[in-house]
């Protein structure tokens, strides 16, 4: 599914580019999209890391090869993603958690944190597990540290922003998910209810 979805997104971009070429030149285009090509393309920084260093990346779960801490952590009642992108954010994270790690030479810079990832994550894990995920998320947002809870699907659709954006829809009594595309205030699919679909296919007409 991962490759299917990304190939669809890339294909949509390719179609738009081909239409733009047609408008500019009058010429059509043949679009060649392969699932394999897309999978290679979305390796992103992992591919470039290997190309630059020759070091083969290993599995990291939801961690980031080039940044630390940048992964999920267990809280008292669930999990929270913390995505520290620079040293200032790390210092503010440490302030929220009441940890002196930002002054430790092993963790003072991002390269140092990446090099000492195991010790860093161990120290953070002990502190973070004491927090409820909503409380820590709120504290980190106030401190300007990127973070967000990992939600169950029911929690996703109970989220105030998801509700405000109208992402849960119903068409003829059938629940669904709204298109994320909004142009000039209108979603790509109309928000008005469509006529109900028949519950079963129509009976075939008799042979003549």
CA pseudo-torsion sign 33, 37, 43, 48? negative
Distance in angstroms (rounded) separating the CA atoms of residues 166 and 73:
29
Q: pLDDT at position 208, please?
A: 62
| Selected catalytic residue, list 4, 77, 159, 191 | 4
Rounded to the nearest 5°, which phi and psi values hold at 145? -110, 120
Is the Cβ–Cβ distance between 93 and 69 less than 8 Å? yes
- In the residue annotation, 4 being an active-site residue is answered as yes
Distance in angstroms (rounded) separating the CA atoms of residues 92 and 34:
43
Q: pLDDT at position 129, please?
A: 98
Is the Cβ–Cβ distance between 73 and 80 less than 8 Å? yes
Distance in angstroms (rounded) separating the CA atoms of residues 165 and 169:
11
Is the Cβ–Cβ distance between 109 and 52 less than 8 Å? no
Q: What is the pTM of this model?
A: 0.74
Q: pLDDT at position 199, please?
A: 55
Which residue segments constitute the domains of the chain, with CATH numbers given? 2-42 (no CATH), 70-150 (3.30.1540.10), 158-187 (no CATH)
Q: pLDDT at position 115, please?
A: 96
Q: pLDDT at position 1, please?
A: 81
Distance in angstroms (rounded) separating the CA atoms of residues 61 and 79:
14
Cite the DSSP H helix spans in 60-132: 87-97, 110-115, 117-128
DSSP, res 55: P
Q: pLDDT at position 204, please?
A: 72
Task: For Cα atoms 143, 103, 130, give the angle at the middle one, nearest 5 degrees.
Answer: 55
10-residue block means of pLDDT along the chain (208 residues)? 93 97 96 96 92 92 93 97 98 98 97 97 98 97 97 95 95 92 83 50 68
Q: pLDDT at position 193, please?
A: 46
């Amino acid at each position: 599914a991962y490759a299917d979805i990304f190939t669809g997104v890339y294909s949509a971009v390719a179609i738009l580019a081909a239409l733009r070429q047609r408008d500019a030149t009058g010429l059509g285009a043949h679009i060649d999209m392969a699932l394999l090509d897309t999978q290679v393309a979305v390796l992103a920084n992992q591919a470039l890391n290997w190309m630059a260093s020759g070091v083969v990346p290993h599995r990291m779960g939801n961690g980031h090869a080039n940044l630390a801490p940048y992964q999920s952590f267990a809280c008292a009642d669930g999990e929270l993603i913390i995505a520290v992108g620079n040293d200032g954010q790390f210092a503010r994270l440490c302030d929220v958690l009441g940890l002196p790690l930002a002054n430790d030479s092993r963790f003072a810079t991002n390269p140092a944190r990446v090099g000492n990832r195991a010790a860093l994550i161990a120290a953070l894990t002990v502190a973070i597990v004491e927090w409820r995920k909503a409380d820590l998320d709120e504290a980190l947002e106030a401190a300007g540290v990127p973070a967000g809870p990992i939600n169950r699907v029911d929690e996703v659709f109970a989220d105030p922003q998801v509700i405000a954006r109208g992402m849960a829809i119903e068409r003829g009594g059938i629940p669904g998910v709204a298109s994320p595309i909004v142009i000039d205030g209108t979603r790509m699919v109309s928000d008005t209810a469509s006529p109900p679909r028949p519950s079963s296919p129509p009976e075939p007409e008799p042979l003549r």
